[in-house]
Amino acid sequence: MSAHEASVEVSSLSHAYGATQALRAVSFKLTAGEICGYVGPNGAGKSTTLKILSGLIRPASGTVRVCGFDVARDPVEVKARIGYVPESGAVYSTLTVLEFLSLVGELHGIPEGESRERLDHWLGLFGLVEASHAMLGSLSKGMRQRAVLVSALLHDPQVLLFDEPLTGLDVQAARVVKATLAGMARAGKVVLFSSHVLEVVERICGRIIMLDLGRIVLDEQACALRRRAGEAGLESLFQSLIGPS
């Protein structure tokens, strides 16, 4: 693996919110071309992991490297290489779609002409052209989510961190997301796809990591998991791995 090839390395990652232990010595490595499903029940630590990977919060202990850069020591380099879709899907409600996305392009240092070309592509793909001059706060949750997805893809990141990215999307927009992720994996990107919708994870992810109570309880290729689950299905297998609440 070259020094700055798309990759994610998590080593002994732990974090707590007060007395609640969110992550307990979590370790995994993702390499170029992987789409990894990150699953588990509510409170398992999925969103906390993605927030740490994106540099939003600092872990209590452990290290994280994205494309060879340490998240704590090289946050600017890391942010330039990731596209993050948070679970909240928060946006600047007083900006129009175009103003918001143009600002994102400017913050990433994309030249204005190139930014416009990229915006034309993504706005068209996600069906946002007609809504481009509408205030984000006036749009439906699904339309706002489309804008958040475009903001994460605009700068052509090497690593995609998606936390429940299909929330609020209709069938067509969800199909676009799935096709986009598959194309990015073929191009050598890394995708970490956190979701509670096991059917979607099973369909698009080549590898699945499962968390429960802040610990990894499963890390396996999806095809091997399907064979192991048999007729009972993945949901039944996953349920057997989750401890009592």
Q: Is the pLDDT of residue 1 over 50?
A: no
Class of CATH domain 7-241: alpha beta
**Helices vs strands, H then E, count in the chain:** 9, 10
Whole-model pTM: value is 0.92
Mean pLDDT of the chain: 92
What residue spans define the domains of the chain? 7-241
Handedness of CA 197, 201, 203, 208 (dihedral sign): negative
Q: Cβ distance 243 to 216 under 8 Å?
A: no
Residues 6+ apart with CB under 8 A from 236: 229
Q: Is the pLDDT of residue 232 over 70?
A: no
pLDDT tens column, 171-196 = 999 999 999 999 999 999 999 999 88
